Amino acid sequence: MKSAVITFPGSNRERDMMNALKLVTGHEPAAVWHQDTALPDVDLVVLPGGFSYGDYLRAGAIAARSPVLRAVAEAADKGTLVLGVCNGFQMLTEAGLLPGSLMRNADLHFVCREVKLETVNTTSPFTRGFALGQVWRCPVAHHDGNYFADPQALEKIEGEGQVAFRYGEGTNPNGSVNDIAGVLNGEGNVLGMMPHPENLVDPLQGGTDGRTLFESIANLLETA
């Protein structure tokens, strides 16, 4: 399996993401810079967490207009898997690759804690390794994670099985509508999520619940 992780000025989880991919899949991801206009030939592109461009304007807004995002959009169009975590999720909504948007957390505070995630979709490349309804632990760290979609968009997202994960057991940390923590595009090859699965893949991090997501992708690609 070939993957690439894109770094923007202000990214801070690119190293964690590369380590997680290496640890779980055994493959070293390629490092891509935000000014690159082309992507290497990969199966998976990851937009990592952080504070790209200092979160100026809106979190993810400037990154969504950076040269590399054009290449990401083209790759997504062709069916390449694209995963955006936290700031990466914000970029994907800002770029129009995922529906909805991420607003300031409902209580206006930065949240840094562990949440429970309930798996709602088990058919996408990212979620196929989970059991339906499986609840897992995952850390969050953000101030703009309050997922919003207007009623019409929400009906479509819910109706077409595009919700991948919901905050479970009363752990919604940011006021997201319908407790939505992660959303897929209509084709299922783009996933954005606020929690950080890359930060729970090694017992040294306090658990390995995040591994299933990376294993889902790797198993699919290895057996393809």
Ligand X SMILES: NC(=O)CC[C@H](N)C(=O)O
Under the binding rule (CB under 6 A), the answer on residue 138 touching ligand X is no
Q: Is 196 a catalytic residue?
A: yes
Exactly one of 14, 94, 118, 198 is catalytic; name it. Answer: 198
Under the binding rule (CB under 6 A), the answer on residue 141 touching ligand X is yes
Burial of 29 from C-beta contacts in 10 A (0-12 / 13-18 / 19+) = buried
Exactly one of 14, 86, 138, 142 is catalytic; name it. Answer: 86
CB of 24 to ligand X, least distance (A): 20
How far apart, in whole angstroms, are the C-alpha atoms of residue 149 and residue 174? 14
Question: Quick one: which of 31, 95, 111 has its CA closest to 60?
Answer: 95
Q: Is 27 a catalytic residue?
A: no
Contact between 40 and 27 (Cβ < 8 Å): no
Whole-number Cα distances in Å, 93 to 17, 185, 224: 20, 10, 29
Under the binding rule (CB under 6 A), the answer on residue 71 touching ligand X is no
Q: How many residues bind ligand X (CB under 6 A)?
A: 12
Under the binding rule (CB under 6 A), the answer on residue 55 touching ligand X is yes
Under the binding rule (CB under 6 A), the answer on residue 86 touching ligand X is yes
Under the binding rule (CB under 6 A), the answer on residue 139 touching ligand X is no
Under the binding rule (CB under 6 A), the answer on residue 191 touching ligand X is no
Which residue has 């077409």 as its token pair?
160
CB of 173 to ligand X, least distance (A): 11
CB of 140 to ligand X, least distance (A): 8
DSSP state of 64: G
Q: Stretches 39-47, 135-143, 150-158, 216-224: which one binds ligand X (CB under 6 A)? A: 135-143
Q: Measured in Å, how far apart are the chain's first and last C-alpha atoms?
A: 10
Under the binding rule (CB under 6 A), the answer on residue 34 touching ligand X is no
Under the binding rule (CB under 6 A), the answer on residue 210 touching ligand X is no
CB of 26 to ligand X, least distance (A): 26
Under the binding rule (CB under 6 A), the answer on residue 58 touching ligand X is no
Burial of 170 from C-beta contacts in 10 A (0-12 / 13-18 / 19+) = exposed
How far apart, in whole angstroms, are the C-alpha atoms of residue 190 and residue 206? 28
Contact between 11 and 20 (Cβ < 8 Å): no
Exactly one of 94, 138, 142, 196 is catalytic; name it. Answer: 196
3-state DSSP assignment of residue 198: helix
Q: Which parts of this chain interact with ligand X (CB under 6 A)?
A: 49-51, 55, 59, 86-87, 141-145
Residues acting as catalytic residues: 86, 196, 198
